[in-house]
Structure 1
Amino acid sequence: MPAIKSERFVWEDSMVTSQRSWPVDRRTVLKTSAAIAAVQFSSPFIIKARGDTPVRIGLVDPLTGVYAAIAQGEVVGAKLATEEINKKGGILGRPVELLIEDSANDVGTGVQKTRKLIERDQVSFIVGDVNSGIAIAMAQVTSEKKVLHIVSGGHTDPITGANCSWNVFRVCNSTTMDANAIATTLMEKFGKKWYFLTPDYAYGHSVQAGFEKLLKAAGGTSSGALVPLGTADYSAYLIQAKAFGPQVLINVMGGGDQVSSLKQFVQFGLDKQMAVGGTLFELESIRAVPDGARVGWWTMEWWWDQPGVPHVAEFNASIKKITGAAATARNWFGYASVQTLALIANQEKTLDAPKLAHALSGFKLPPEVALQPGAPSYRAGDHELMSTVFVGEAHPPQGDPDNMFTVKNPVPGEKAAGPAEDTGCKIQWPA
């Protein structure tokens, strides 16, 4: 089967048409209506910019594999941002072209696609990846090539910590932010004996390390298992968890892996013997499990129901018009990433990466892009976006079919992140 090619939005004069060139093999068939909606956009539409070479943004995400659903969520948000930006005149008066590549949840593929976008397709910016290990590897390429890079959905601490780079900024939280926001709640509500179900790669290791640091400081104990990505049968790991007898099962699995593990957690009756919770239980995953598995205390990094917060309802309505369902944090990640690039380039009137990176250090998102309390900014010390962490409880639908999470404690980003100097980030700027 031929490889997936990039999806391009091509502008001709003042009109835009969507030309998709995705040879699709059986692995790339999208399996949910939300995922299908992710690649459908109305066109053509009028843009104000015309007659100039497009500004190209490359998006690399795992459109196939266990993280496909959340990656498709980012694609939806990125496309919505591209449409809005072009309706307002584009970047520097030029139309924006979004090129989308599938990293296939593979580091080598992610690096290859990133190099292709920069060297062959001449993109000015890179966004991605959901997979933290791929995001780190992509950042090595973008740093080498001096291309501004927004990590939309890879959470592992080193991205804005020990491995930070002058050209890399992150929209989603660090794992430290998520762990700090919820650890005390889990200990106070359920106890200090935990068992970790952790994906065996950069993100999982980072989350578990953050949690263990806080748990040990509070006098707690833990055990756990490192689980390969794509595991289908969790029985051996859940038997080990039951034998340990924890008060809380910390489920760090993501995407399809989290869906499978939580289904089996409930099928085995472990929800009657221990609490469950952790950092991310994303709306895409909550939708994919039965009511019985919609349980536990978790963090959300953005939530669609924020009464009184400006522009949230409008954004949610725009996403719902596209997908038929409420907006997710992943929709916002993709949206905020692309909007950030347009905002800073139009403000500085340049595409020069070092100049834009300096300007982004300390840059505050406007309310129509922030879509949350306060005015989150990209912290100068580590380039991490100081966004709110929404701590709360998952539950079966209440009223609205997507009302499956109740925010109990919004934690300001600065409080969750801790000092920038503690991250290990030492940014070296190019000469």
Structure 2
Amino acid sequence: MTKLNLSRRTVVGGLAATGVAMTTGPGAAQGAPVRVGELNSYSRMAAFAVPYRNAMQLAQDEINRAGGLAGLGGRPLEIVFRDDGSTPGDAVRVAEELVTRENVSFIAGAFLSNVGLALADFANQRKVLYLATEPLTDTLTMGSGNRFTFRVRANTYMQTKMLVDAAKGKGIKRWAIVAPNYEYGQSAAANFKKLMGAAVPGFEVVGEQFPALGRVDAGATVGALLQTKPDGIFNVLFGADLPAFVREGNTRGLFEGRTVVSLLTGEPEYILPLGEETPEGWITTGYPWEQIETNGHKAFVEAYRARFNDTPRLGSLLGYVVGYMIRDLFNKAKSTETEALIAALKGLKSDTVAGPVVMREIDQQSTLGAWVGETTLKGKLGTMKNWRYEDGANHMFPEAEVRAARRV
């Protein structure tokens, strides 16, 4: 995978890297660039964030070659990339620099949920638009929601509901939960208990493990889960924690004869490192990029592979979707002013390579969905089988719950 070496003060503008896209071709964009600040965990979470950045640059360059932002007279789009340091304090400092020194129209991005919450608070205080792209915590658009913060990716509740809907028919009652001990993991566990409890009579949680993010003690965790003798396991571990957990679980027979429901495991960022250790038949959300043939997805894959000599990750898909949503936002708003952008984002409709996406007004959460299927090994690489795309619109918080949480 392409590696990105950035200090947190380094600006990596797509135009600097591919300036010819701005000046060549009869339909090339012209005029002063419209700048958007994008901050993300490019160092700590490079497996996701670097492909995300790559695809966002790809979208930016395609937009500019096609004539730029039509709603702003064909001005080019320029995305200014910064590392957020993977901490709330660093992220807020970088966001302030983007707004005050780089004169961006709005900020976007973040990976970790706690960082996203800090940026949402910053946006609310500074009265600047924040388009949260990856943070999954529900509270971002629920209890801590504010009028300046919108989210693109399906939140924790939505993805957990997709998995519960896929697994509830098995009728399994005794479950154990393993999740990273921070906002995302805790939220996913709470959602699973709520949704599975409502779907399966007699549901109970017989054990829970919450290891620190990035520091799982796989032996102790697997041992503790084995002692609870569950019939099903809900796994929320990802990143470097996942291979260690899978390897130990395979060795000690944790997954044998048990149903495993797993958030994110089917994403290439996390399933590819598993290699031949990929478990068979876990019910998961993911991204079977090589099997999707709808909504112009194949053309996106071909363009991405040609540009970066690599296969896309889920981060790549998200970055590409976000790039074109930004184009649609400016074209609809016909302005770079915050209030005009907020008004345009509410109800914004975008045709994406994942399918149509709408920004729901009541909670400012998009309907971008996810692929749900089962893990499987193809050759020596993990992938997904029996998958289907779940439209996020069918799995969102009920509007009554949104009104109560946001007090609207």
Question: Do the two structures share a fold, i.e. TM-score over 0.5?
Answer: yes
Return the offset for 1:5.
2.8
Counterpart position of 1:94: 75
| Residue 393 of structure 2 corresponds to residue 386 of structure 1 | no
Return the offset for 1:312.
0.8
| Residue 138 of structure 2 corresponds to residue 162 of structure 1 | no
Per-residue CA deviations over 1:162-210 (Å, capped at 9, x if unaligned) read: 1112122211111111111111322333722211111111111111110
Residues 304 and 360 (structure 1), Cα distance of their counterparts in 2 relative to 1, 3 Å cut? farther
Per-residue CA deviations over 1:348-398 (Å, capped at 9, x if unaligned) read: 2101122221122111112xxx2234x221111111111233210111126
Aligned-pair identity (%): 24
Return the offset for 1:213.
0.4
Residues 6, 83 of structure 2: 8 Å contact kept: no
- The code of the aligned residue for 1:116 comes to E
Q: Which moved more, 1:183-192 or 1:171-180?
A: 183-192
Residues 106 and 261 (structure 1), Cα distance of their counterparts in 2 relative to 1, 3 Å cut? farther
For the aligned residue pairs, the C-alpha RMSD in angstroms reads 2.4
| Residue 246 of structure 2 corresponds to residue 262 of structure 1 | yes
SS at match of 1:100: strand
SS at match of 1:310: coil
Aligned residue pair count: 391
SS at match of 1:350: coil
Per-residue CA deviations over 1:123-159 (Å, capped at 9, x if unaligned) read: 1121111111100111111222222221111111111
Counterpart position of 2:108: 127
Matches within 5 A, 1:205-284: 205-217=186-198, 218=200, 219-222=202-205, 223-281=207-265, 282-284=267-269
Equivalent-residue separation in structure 1 for 2:290 and 2:149 (angstroms) = 27
Equivalent-residue separation in structure 2 for 1:125 and 1:405 (angstroms) = 36
Residues 6 and 85 (structure 1), Cα distance of their counterparts in 2 relative to 1, 3 Å cut? farther
Per-residue CA deviations over 1:217-244 (Å, capped at 9, x if unaligned) read: 2221112111111215321111110000
Per-residue CA deviations over 1:391-431 (Å, capped at 9, x if unaligned) read: 10111126xx8771124343332221142332345388xxx
Per-residue CA deviations over 1:27-76 (Å, capped at 9, x if unaligned) read: xxxxxxxxxxxxxxx66334423352x222111111122x3211222112
SS at match of 2:196: helix
Q: Choose which of 353, 365, 369 in structure 2 pairs with 1:371.
A: 353
- The code of the aligned residue for 1:265 comes to G
Matches within 5 A, 1:8-23: 8-9=12-13, 16-18=15-17
Equivalent-residue separation in structure 2 for 1:60 and 1:89 (angstroms) = 26
- The code of the aligned residue for 2:332 comes to Q
Return the offset for 1:118.
1.2
Per-residue CA deviations over 1:70-127 (Å, capped at 9, x if unaligned) read: 1222112211121112212333232222222222322221222111211222211211
SS at match of 1:81: helix
Per-residue CA deviations over 1:247-301 (Å, capped at 9, x if unaligned) read: 2221101222223322332233322253322221121111111222243110136
Return the offset for 1:303.
4.5
SS at match of 1:270: coil
Counterpart position of 1:69: 47
| Residue 286 of structure 2 corresponds to residue 300 of structure 1 | yes
Residues 98 and 427 (structure 1), Cα distance of their counterparts in 2 relative to 1, 3 Å cut? farther
- The code of the aligned residue for 1:68 comes to A
Q: Which moved more, 1:135-144 or 1:329-338?
A: 329-338
- The code of the aligned residue for 1:256 comes to A
Equivalent-residue separation in structure 1 for 2:407 and 2:342 (angstroms) = 11
Equivalent-residue separation in structure 1 for 2:6 and 2:158 (angstroms) = 41
Equivalent-residue separation in structure 2 for 1:114 and 1:425 (angstroms) = 27
SS at match of 2:179: strand
| Residue 337 of structure 2 corresponds to residue 333 of structure 1 | no
Residues 405 and 388 (structure 1), Cα distance of their counterparts in 2 relative to 1, 3 Å cut? same
SS at match of 1:382: coil
Residues 381, 420 of structure 1: 8 Å contact kept: yes
Q: Choose which of 52, 59, 62 in structure 2 pairs with 1:84.
A: 62
Residues 249, 277 of structure 1: 8 Å contact kept: yes
Q: Choose which of 133, 152, 159 in structure 2 pairs with 1:152.
A: 133
Equivalent-residue separation in structure 1 for 2:139 and 2:128 (angstroms) = 19
Matches within 5 A, 1:404-423: 404-423=383-402
Equivalent-residue separation in structure 2 for 1:183 and 1:2 (angstroms) = 39
Q: Choose which of 30, 33, 37 in structure 2 pairs with 1:58.
A: 37
Unaligned runs of 5+ in 1: 11-15, 19-41
| Residue 21 of structure 2 corresponds to residue 45 of structure 1 | yes
SS at match of 1:376: strand
Counterpart position of 1:188: 169
